[in-house]
Amino acid sequence: MNAKRHTWCNRVTSCAGRIFFPGIGWRFCVAKVCLAALVLIAVFAAPVLGAPPEAVRLNHEGIEAMKAGRTAEAIDKFKAAIALDPAFETGRKNLALAYTHYGIELKSKPDKAIAQFHKAVFLDPSRREASHNLKAIISMMGKDPDSFSDRVSLAEQAVRAGDRQGAIIEFDAALSLAQAGAAAEPAGAAAGYANALRLYAVELTASDRLREAQEIGRYLKETGSGTASLPAWLKISRKLELLRFPSLWHAYMFSATLAFEAGDYRQAADDFNQALVQARQPGQDVLLIITALNNLALVNWQQGSYPDALPLAQEALALCHRHLGGNDAETATSANMLAMVLAKGDDTAAAEKLYRRAIEIARRVRGQTHPALATYLNNLASLKSAQGETQQAERLFKEALAIDEQALGREHPKVAVALHNLAVLYSQSRRFAEAEPLYKRCLAIRRRYLNENHPDLEALLRSYALFLGQAGRGSEAASLEEQAEAMARARQGQVQSGR
């Protein structure tokens, strides 16, 4: 499935919310503060859907401990939460951030700080700040993070210190530099790397994580003596990552969520498809099928592939009626997803009926201040705006925005969706003075959370540029359009280079 570039017009946009599935929640940071070349991330609570209540409680207590400066206590809380639910993304990522904070607290003792940054990178390798902090502390140790020999030295140091996660990370970095041509003699690193893998397997065995240890053993056996010149770490790490979750379904859903939030919709679709395959295996809970179907429909919808999204959303809702009674929160989610697809076609009457049904269920089952209710209100407002019913759309958008701000906080990424839609509505009504502050606030939130070439950020810039053009500010509009075009070119270049 090929990702499509969005052409934006000055219209309100539907909101699917984030991707929801059991065991995976949200975590978000609200501030970045430079501190001696290190990046400090502040951690705040966010709704966690599907995780065990005790894990949610421990995660909240960990966040409160972080706010109070009790980092060691926070680490213990987050670790306990993850122990209850290994697929608890919120807890995993918050634990990584706690390790980051602890590493910064230890920055005057770099040999101790680096172990904390190793843990942070190992838990959350997708976060750029984690790698930045690791490189910063390496520089503070008087070493070059881009030096093959220095990374090998650090890996050997980690092995001696018993920092096996750190050894894996450092040998991986050294081999990456070797593959990039930054070193002429990778064989020595490979031997050490294999030794680190053996040590890691020992640690995993001692921790009763036998499947992962066995996978490493198979890998080392396949490489002959275990000293292959360039071990395929990405391949082995992918297998290990899958084994760390309660099931392959959880693993693929986790991977798909990361890809979706990074704007890599093609990878997200592939992983959601794999999750759906796992969910359809005999004996699986029907909820797994429904969740995978809705998420796969969402990815197709996001790419404009509405014909592909339609049968997925229809099947999800049908399963809700057949197996869940048709009056629960999952039914509301499925009704909303199908309505989103229908709203893009000609059946807007059916879409409105489904949106109103989702809203009615959410008010009854989830309460008046749940973010899911805000999502459904926002989507109905989008439909009403498209039909020219501006006053009703404004009322619905405002209610959705108020709920999200109360439930999630004023700086949450989902709040940016409601801000944008209300801004576009005001722009269409030529209420420019009211629209622009909302655009600016939305853009500030988007820039804080999205990577620099994310398609959602590109789309927002195009929308803002259109507003500026309508307001008679052509030069400013042209500048934003240029930024958006640069993002599109950069992303296309990444696709062509295979990154």
**What pLDDT does 442 receive?**
87
Sequence ranges of the domains in the chain = 25-86+88-142, 162-244
Q: Contact 380/14 with Cβ under 8 angstroms?
A: no
Identify any residues that bridge with 24 across adjacent strands, giving them in sequence order: 21
> What span, in angstroms and rounded, lies between the C-alpha atoms of 203 and 215?
13
Q: Contact 281/292 with Cβ under 8 angstroms?
A: no
3-class secondary-structure state, position 41: strand
DSSP 8-state secondary structure symbol assigned to residue 5: P
Identify any residues that bridge with 43 across adjacent strands, giving them in sequence order: 29
> What span, in angstroms and rounded, lies between the C-alpha atoms of 224 and 439?
58
> What span, in angstroms and rounded, lies between the C-alpha atoms of 104 and 107?
5
> Residue 50: what residue type?
G
493 or 45: which carries more pLDDT confidence? Answer: 493
Q: Find the helix packing angle between 371-386 and 329-343, rounded to 10°.
A: 20
Burial of 440-470, coded b for 16+ CB within 10 Å and e otherwise, reads ebbbebbeebbeebbbbbbbbbbbbbbbbbe
Burial of 404-434, coded b for 16+ CB within 10 Å and e otherwise, reads bbebbeebbbbbbbbbbbbbbbbbbeeebee
- Tokens for 454? 């994310």
Torsion (CA) 185, 190, 195, 199 in degrees, nearest 10: 120
Q: How far is CA 482 from the centre of its chain?
A: 27
CATH architecture of the domain with range 25-86+88-142: Alpha Horseshoe (1.25)
Mean pLDDT, residues 83-100: 83
SS3 per-residue string spanning 418-431: HHHHHHHHHHHCCC
**What pLDDT does 5 receive?**
26
Q: Contact 373/359 with Cβ under 8 angstroms?
A: yes
What band does 164 get if pLDDT is binned at 50, 70 and 90? confident
Q: What is the pLDDT of residues 207-264, one digit of tens each?
A: 566 666 666 666 666 655 444 333 344 455 555 555 556 677 877 887 787 678 777 8
What percent of the chain shows pLDDT beyond 90? 25
- Tokens for 16? 């699917």
